[in-house]
Amino acid sequence: MEVKLQDLRSDKNPKARIKIMQGHFARSHSHVNTYIDISTIKCRCDHAREAARVLAEAYLSSADVDTIVCLDGMEVVGAFLAELLAEPSQIAKNRGKNISVIAPEQNQLGQMMFRDNTKRMVSGQNVLILAGSINTGKTMLQSINTVIYYGGSVSGVCAVFSAVSKVAGMDIHAIFTKKNVPGYQVYANNDCPLCKEGKKVDAIVNSYGYSGL
């Protein structure tokens, strides 16, 4: 496949940026016409820090956070987010806290789980869930249910990109939304108009990257 990635920068902070590519892409729960590449934010220290600054704005003075659960390999951003939320500022509700940053494991049945050494960081804790990208909300809903199953309380949901505004009745705070990506569409696997038109899938994609076909 021919790779044509375009930069897309946040209006709030130009260093918080993603790349997008038009085409026909298959995800685990859907097909999309635009691939969202968040690798710059996940992998580069400076960009991860600036993305965390944008995400922290929604929770700095309003949400109790004891633990950040990171999906999609977002632990670097999660660490910066924890540092910002706990900074010694008068408006920081969590100032001085030693916020935990963890990631769930997925077992052979596709269920999310926490091992014994990390589930104590969920049980009885206020948990902020951080994702790379949210398309249908199914994985985020699974994450919320997993946190609740382990005895945690979900205090917020955030992502670099989200195609939906709410999940389980909770607002999603995202740096980028569908409004920032012109023409972005999500299709059900069994009802994709691109497939019906005979357009081949360009790549298998998820928040970790893409594999061209």
CATH number at residue 119: 3.40.50.2020
Tell me if 1 is assigned to some domain.
no
Q: How many domains does the chain have?
A: 1
Half-sphere exposure of 48 (CA within 13 A, CB side): 19
Q: Which residues pair with 101 in a beta bridge?
A: 68
Tell me if 39 is assigned to some domain.
yes
Alpha helices (H) along 28-92: 39-43, 45-56, 75-85
Predicted confidence at residue 127, as pLDDT, reads 98
Query: Does 2 have pLDDT greater than 80?
Result: no
Predicted confidence at residue 213, as pLDDT, reads 81
From the centroid of its chain, how far is CA 115? 22
Pairwise CA distance, residues 4 & 133, whole Å: 20
Tell me if 181 is assigned to some domain.
yes
Predicted confidence at residue 189, as pLDDT, reads 86
Tell me if 117 is assigned to some domain.
yes
**Residue span of the structural domain in which 30 resides:** 6-212
Pairwise CA distance, residues 74 & 210, whole Å: 17
- Please tell me what DSSP assigns to residue 136: S
Query: Per mean pLDDT, which range of 59-68, 108-117, 126-135, 151-160 is the poorest?
Result: 108-117
